[in-house]
Amino acid sequence: MKKFVKILAVVMIVALSATLLFACGGQEDTGREKLIMGTNAAFPPYEYYEGDKIVGIDAEVGALIAEKLDMDFEILDMDFNGIISAVQNGVVDIGMAGMTVREDRLEHVNFSTTYAKGVQVVIVKEGSDIKTLDDLAGKLIGVQEATTGDAYASEDYGEENVKRYTNGAAAVAALQSDIVNAVIIDNEPAKAFVAANEGLTILETAYADEDYAIAVAKENTELLEKINTALAELTADGSIDAIVNKYIPA
């Protein structure tokens, strides 16, 4: 019996070690501090899965910032709605998820300087009677919860006409199934969703323009200053433009 208990203990230790190694992405501990980025990896081309790896504009910009700060880098995938609180509570160090600076978010976190620009657009089915933004009045609009698209649509068209989903793909699936009449989302993910799903199109008129920035805990002013310095350097040497152009060809 004692022998069995010892064997079981060894098995549990090995399993725990493997779990910890997997959670850290299989990387060795370099002894450096780690920059942990919270994101929602269902927002191509800013963050999405390629196999079991999260890639995209935000993933690469975040990795370059960590390199500039001489830190290891890790990405945690979570619901978009939980990113701000994860930053606020120290679960992650930064939030990068095509995130726009808004007054309600500034009550909880600080934001870096802008590193990319976004455009909110409207996806509809081909042949839809929705041709302009005015035609959205009285229609059921799908959005990703807690995004600017959610906030704008709720304000412009009323809470009763907005249906929230945990990610953009779920909202687009609802559009295809005629559960909603349109989806409001960032232009780049919209293009990816339309390309991957027949019978969808994007309205010609943009819904809203916005700037993307990195969320940092309010008390972590030192990290915010370092990130802004890194962003300035990466902008000046063309690194950020190179990453954006890689995922969004001119």
Segment 54-90, tens digit of pLDDT? 999 999 999 999 999 999 999 999 999 999 999 999 9
Same CATH fold, 118-210 and 33-115+213-247? yes
CATH class (in words) of the domain with range 33-115+213-247: alpha beta
Instruction: Check residue 29 and give its pLDDT.
Output: 58
Instruction: Check residue 21 and give its pLDDT.
Output: 38
Position of tokens 């890639």? 55
For residues 233-244, give the mean pLDDT: 97
Segment 172-206, tens digit of pLDDT? 999 999 999 999 999 999 999 999 999 999 999 99
Residues 72/32, Cβ–Cβ less than 8 Å: yes
What pTM was computed for the model? 0.79
Which DSSP category does 119 fall into?
E
Instruction: Check residue 3 and give its pLDDT.
Output: 41
Q: Indicate whether 8 pLDDT > 90.
A: no
DSSP 25-79: TT----SS-EEEEEE-SEETTTEEEETTEEESHHHHHHHHHHHHTT-EEEEEE--
Q: Indicate whether 240 pLDDT > 60.
A: yes
Residue 81, classed as helix, strand or coil, is: helix
The CATH superfamily of 118-210 is Periplasmic binding protein-like II (3.40.190.10)
β-sheet bridge partners, residue 109: 217
What's the mean pLDDT when you consider all of the chain?
90
Domain ranges of the chain: 33-115+213-247, 118-210
Instruction: Check residue 244 and give its pLDDT.
Output: 94
Segment 23-64, tens digit of pLDDT? 444 445 567 999 999 999 999 999 999 999 999 999 999 999
Residues 101/200, Cβ–Cβ less than 8 Å: no
Instruction: Check residue 31 and give its pLDDT.
Output: 77
